[in-house]
Structure 1
Amino acid sequence: MARPTVQDVARTAGVSVGTVSRVLNGSPAVSQAAKEKVNAAIKELSYRPLASARDLRRDRTMRVLALAKNLDSLVISEVFRGVGDAAADSGYVSLIAATDGDLDREQQLVDMLRNGSVDGLVIFSPTMPDDDVNTVAEQLSVVQVCEIVDAEAAFGVSIDDRQAAYDVTKHLIDSGAKKLAMLAHRGARSGRLREEGFRQALKEASLEQDQILFGEGNFGFHTGRTLAKKLLKARDLPDAVFCGTDVVAAGCVRELTDAGLRVPQDIAVAGFDDSAQAEMCVPELTTVRQPAYEMGRVAFAELLERMTVEGSHRKGRTFLPHELVIRDSTK
């Protein structure tokens, strides 16, 4: 039988995970009725929290660190907002830091977890090698979100990027596109998975990709324009372009329209993320919606269990559902 979790206690007691955490930590900010429900559920499930989670709050910092390469993505912002709200619900403070892809800086921040300055770590797109992520996760409380490395011990929360890219590419094909191009970013793990989904959809439709162009460094609006310029130099233009993010798609649309082409009549364009740029773009972008805020909340719930429950925990990853959002940029 699987070991009961904090979530199981909350579900049995009919309260939030945050309420369970506050009871375990001896917080006075819990009603007597809620406390009795939680304690009854703990007894019923034979739930075994760590001693520190029961009465030794002074031995814990009640802080978690959310770490990313940069904070300029709206997806990252929403993920970390979810982490912060879920942490606050459980009496924790979330600290947010960016590494700018600097491995030494990342190691310094991870050392905050090693030396007890924080109780747990949520990491988005680590710079360190996969094996190092796995080693840290085997020893300490670590959860990955969105950009998931191949580290068995480091549980991850994300969407299925490969399937999501497959879905949007299939939509382009079903809309009549025969020659498709992709503006991709191999520097990101999610970018490589999206490229795989794009290729899979074309293979199943017995189509060959027209071009896959790769952006380097900051994969943003100007990258979209630069890569679209390269597409325009081709003898035969594609019918549709799938872009790895909405921001890149917006840059692509701008370059195509400046060249006198109509979107989607001449070339359809689709993005990814359903960020604000998707609706600000003219025409509005067909895209994939990520439940970024919910991913942040789920990531913290997984982290909370690792910080408060003894023994082994779930490994691998969990996928939250994505949604294909069809707008005016595709036929």
Structure 2
Amino acid sequence: MIFLVTGAGGFIGFHLSKALLARGETVIGIDNLNDYYSPLLKQARCDKLKISKNFVFYQADITDISALENIVQNHPDIQIIFNLAAQAGVRYSLENPFAYIQTNVMGQVTILEMARQLPKLQRIFYASSSSVYGLNKKLPFTEQDRVDRPSSVYAASKQSGELLSFTYHHLYGLKQTGLRFFTVYGPWGRPDMAYYIFAKAITEDKQITLYTGQNLSRDFTYINDVIGALLSLLECSVLEDYGIFNIGNSRQEKVEHLVACLEENLGKKAIINYISRPGTDIEATLSDISAIYNATGWVPQTKLSDGIHRFTSWFKLCNGLFG
């Protein structure tokens, strides 16, 4: 099959592309390799993918209509789109809200318009986020929960993407599946994520910041489990024409436990500074994954302690290589 993967130089896009190439599929990758975090890391991921003769790469922005039209002309037989390109990060959305609207809203529309031109397209899978659950207090989060109270511009942009996708399904019959990711971590991960920032600070004997609160916790989801979920959805023969799935570990782990796992694997104690939690950050996340289990039988396999061990093994080898 022929796949288009946007954000191929990103964390999830890289691992998904690698898995698809290992199956013998053809992957058309798009990434603008921007400098939100180290372009060297993004380029290193792409270089690994370029080893395969079945990988074709375009350095382009998903909001660039002419670039996407060129891809359609060169690859009219694209069958599946994984739209994983995004402006990520909750805190950065306070500094640069325009970047989130441009990439996560305008970019979604541009990809949807591109999809309408592909005669053999079967389905679009697109990245959403657990952040859409916003100010919800009930745990675990289910796909039926209200998502109209976002706590950040990032969350609002992701919910906007979901609404646009449903609209294009309604108007044009595009089959689409939304993916609400819960705190994905692992080797080749994003340096702006807390686990990566903590690992770097602990290694360098620098202070890390934790938020106060009795229930500061996350549903940490290991990257290999995420890819397993995506492949299970890809192979599922009973997907509805439009739907949304939580992609999480369905385990609630205190952030302090994450720090303890990092300390154990790095062999150093963290220097911790506690501050009040900002309003943009959700206190706790926990996924209900019964919907994807019922559809595909997928269940995550990786405990946080095991996943952090694998991450730190990679981190020790690669820390400092990408700026």
Question: What range describes the TM-score normalised by the shorter chain of this pair?
Answer: 0.3 to 0.5
